[in-house]
Amino acid sequence: MAETNGTQITFLEAIKQAMFEEMERDPAVVLLGEDVGVYGGAFKTSEGLLERFGWERVIDTPISESAIIGAACGMSYVGLRPIAELQFIDFIVCAFNQITNFVAKGHYLWNAPAPMVMRGPSGGGVHGGPFHSANPEMYFVHTPGLKVIYPSTPYDAKGLLKAAVRDNNPCLFFEHKFLYRRIKGEVPAEDYTVPIGKAIVRREGKHLTIISYAAMMHTSLEAADALAKEGIEAEVIDLRTLLPLDEETILQSVRKTNRCLVVHEDTKTGGIAGEIAAILCEKAFGDLDGPLMRVTALDTPVPYSPPLEEYFLPNAKKVFDAAKELARY
């Protein structure tokens, strides 16, 4: 770590920097949400923004998710680029209609682009219980017109959030709260963006492909390390964006390794693994030497008590075991 000491920032700091720099760069960027101003956000992601940019640009709202999303959409119609924060991403479903029927359909139906970002902390592993740990990304991956982003590193979090602010489409940006202060990563000093819709190979390997994103990307890498000790070289792909999905990177890897394991923290039924399985069946059936396997959360709500939540969530051991089984094919 010594060679990079002092150049690294947390995931949370990356989010904060992205918002700060975008607001600094473009006065059309505003932030609205519950407790984002005076308090600086429940996770302190917007701390200092009010002081810097003022009341007109950092707006504390009532507890009204539909109003937050609706107003952000209205602002975007007049040329602003609002960032709407959901205090916990679980609460995004309170604005489900506004997002899926109003925001998402506007460009297709009446040629109205809505350049807005909807972001917030998601995911489990912090004992937040059934209403503060959700991974609701797939509701929105099933909604044409949205872009769904779910980064795993500070570098990507910052670069993708900046890209989302500059994108002309409504972007959902999921921030896995387990990562907020647990991981650090290096970011460049200069302005940069990370392209939306592009996955990345985090680790190269030849025996099987592990596809993951967000916190489970790190779990997958941990499992890959353990697998390597047994002579199994896993290639690990970080999806980064779930909609639009980067089919090319997935297909390229699986055509090489001929085996695919998908790991996600979302529940199993209707998770992105099913979609990836379908894509592989359609486009790489002949390349597969074994069945697509998946390691996911259970098909239950997120339970509260630590032993229950640990049982519910995927972990490196579960990924390791599944990968070993797959490697036998």
Partner 1 sequence: MKKELTRQQYLDLYYYMRLNRAVEDTMVKLFRQNKIVGGLYSSLGQEAISVGTAYALEKKDWLAPMIRNIGALLVKGVPPRDVFMQHMAKYDSPTKGKDGTSHFGDLENLHIVSPISMLGDLIPVMTGVAMAGRYLGQKIVTMTWIGDGGSSTGVFHEGLNFAATQKAPFVLILENNLWAYSTPVKRQVPLENLADRAKAYGISSYIVDGNDVVAVYTTAREAVERARAGEGPILIEAKSFRRLGHAQHDPAEYVPKEMRAYWEGRDPIALYEKFLMGEKLLDAKGKKDVEEKINTLLEAEREFAENSPMPPPEFAATGVYCTGDECHKIKPKWERPIAEVTPPKSSVKAVWTVAGFGSGKSSGGANAPIHFGDTKTTIESPEPEAAKKNGSKANGKPGAKTSAKATVASSAARKVKR
Regarding 93 and contact with partner 1 (CB under 8 A), the answer is: no
Give least dist CB 227 to partner 1, A. 13
Give least dist CB 192 to partner 1, A. 7
- From 64-72, 254-262, 263-271, 295-303, span contacting partner 1 (CB under 8 A): 64-72
Strand intervals (E) in the chain: 8-10, 29-33, 58-60, 81-85, 117-122, 147-149, 171-176, 184-186, 200-203, 208-212, 234-238, 241-243, 260-267, 293-297
Place of tokens 């379908």: 278
Strand intervals (E) in 117-170: 117-122, 147-149
Residues 156-185 binding partner 1 (CB under 8 A) are 156, 158, 168-169, 177-178, 180-185
Residues 196-255 binding partner 1 (CB under 8 A) are 200-203, 218-219, 221-222, 225
Pick from 33, 34, 53, 137: which binds partner 1 (CB under 8 A)? 53
Total site size for partner 1, rule CB under 8 A: 112
**Identity of the residue, 126 or 308, whose beta carbon is nearer to partner 1 in the bound complex:** 126
Give least dist CB 78 to partner 1, A. 4
Pick from 38, 278, 305, 311: which binds partner 1 (CB under 8 A)? 38
* Full DSSP string of 199-263: -EEEE--SSEEEEE-THHHHHHHHHHHHHHHTT--EEEEE--EEETT-HHHHHHHHHHH--EEEE
Structure tokens, 98: 């506004």
Helix axes 11-25, 154-166, angle to 10 degrees: 30
* Residue 207 bears catalytic tag: no
Pick from 33, 120, 136, 145: which binds partner 1 (CB under 8 A)? 145
3-state secondary structure of 5: coil
Pick from 31, 33, 34, 72: which binds partner 1 (CB under 8 A)? 72
Regarding 48 and contact with partner 1 (CB under 8 A), the answer is: yes
The contacts of residue 24 (CB under 8 Å, 6+ apart) are 52
Q: Are 64 and 95 in contact (CB under 8 A)?
A: no
Pick from 89, 187, 250, 293: which binds partner 1 (CB under 8 A)? 187
Q: Are 88 and 129 in contact (CB under 8 A)?
A: no
Regarding 128 and contact with partner 1 (CB under 8 A), the answer is: yes
Give least dist CB 91 to partner 1, A. 12
User: Which residue out of 132, 176, 218, 264 is catalytically annotated?
Assistant: 132
Residues in the chain: 329
Regarding 141 and contact with partner 1 (CB under 8 A), the answer is: no
- From 43-51, 250-258, 271-279, 321-329, span contacting partner 1 (CB under 8 A): 43-51
Regarding 324 and contact with partner 1 (CB under 8 A), the answer is: no
Backbone phi and psi for residue 31, each to the nearest 5 degrees, phi listed first:
-125, 135
Catalytically active residues are 132
